[in-house]
Each structure stands twice: as C-alpha cells, then as structure tokens.
Amino acid sequence: MYDVYKGNAQPNRISWLLVGAFAMLAFFSSRDEGAGAQAYFTLVTGLNPLAVVVLSFFNKKAYWRITKRDYSLGAVAVLSAIVWFATGEGAIALIFAIIADFFAGLPTLIKAYQKPESESGLLFAICILTSGITLLTISDWTFANFAFPAYILGFCGLMVYSIYIRPRDKSKH
C-alpha cells in the first residue's frame, strides 16, 4: 500500500477492485460454510486490495481501464452470488470466488511477469507468510477453512516468483 501511495507500484484499479470483491465473496461464503477463524484471513485478503484501490487515487501512474474481461469477471461474481443465494451452498460460491479471483488477478500476474518493477513484491511475500501461518492454524481441515488461504499461498508464490526470482534467473542467462 505504501508503494502504491508513493507511486512505486502501478495497480490496475479494476483488477484490484475485482480481486477485493471476490475475496469478500469468498469470506462470506466460507463463513456460511462454517469456516472458523481462518475466514478472517480471507476478510483481510479482501480488504487489502480495496485499500489499494483507494490509495491508487493518490498515484498518478495507477490506471482504470474496463475491458471485456472485466465485464466477464463481474458476471462470474454476480453468478457466484446468485448460485450461492439460490442453492444456499457456500462451497459452490467459494469455488466460483476463487476462480474469479484468479482471473481478476491474472492481469496483475501477467504485468508482474512482463514488468516486475511495476509491482511491489513485499505485499505478496507477506501474503505467502500470512497464508502459510493461516494454514498452520487449521485443526478442522474443511474446504471452507483451507481453500482460500491455500489459493492465496499459490497465487502470491507466483507473484513473488515473477517479481523477484524470474528477473534474477533471466539476468543469469
């Protein structure tokens, strides 16, 4: 968030807004499925991107571009909520939220892979740590408890690889 505020990272507001929205959907659906304290990791994971969106308005390099993909992802979110409400099955909504969150974050992952200097890797490194700690706290291994933290661990691992490791490997060759 500091890097966004200072202009060192250039977030795509739509992508970050969707990531936050899908994480919030994952939070509510996992709570509906009986997730324990681990669901609060998902809540914070949803609030952070929303804070990035707010802070990005202080960053002249941030951008707001709505694409066909954004409309498609928004449709997935709405569909997830409809399916959740219609079936009462939070696990279904959680699956849709994770899929949608991945596709919403994909533009950021691609950008980090292509232009690693445009992203702040510290946020994603911290996410690896916090999602790992969250997974270590699970005593009741239900889908609602582990799905979103495990997904975040993997996604943030890909981000850290794209920002820190890949550029070093590339420079060695």
Q: What is the pLDDT of residues 80-94, one digit of tens each?
A: 777 777 877 888 888
> How does pLDDT run across 4-49, given as a tens digit for each residue?
777 777 777 888 888 898 899 899 989 988 999 989 999 999 999 9
Residues 148, 58: Cα–Cα separation, whole Å: 30
Q: Specify whether the CB–CB gap between 39 and 27 falls below 8 A.
A: yes
Residues 128, 23: Cα–Cα separation, whole Å: 16
For the entire predicted model, the pTM comes to 0.80
Single-letter amino acid, residue 145: N
Residues 158, 152: Cα–Cα separation, whole Å: 10
Q: Specify whether the CB–CB gap between 26 and 97 falls below 8 A.
A: yes
Q: What is the DSSP letter of 117?
A: G
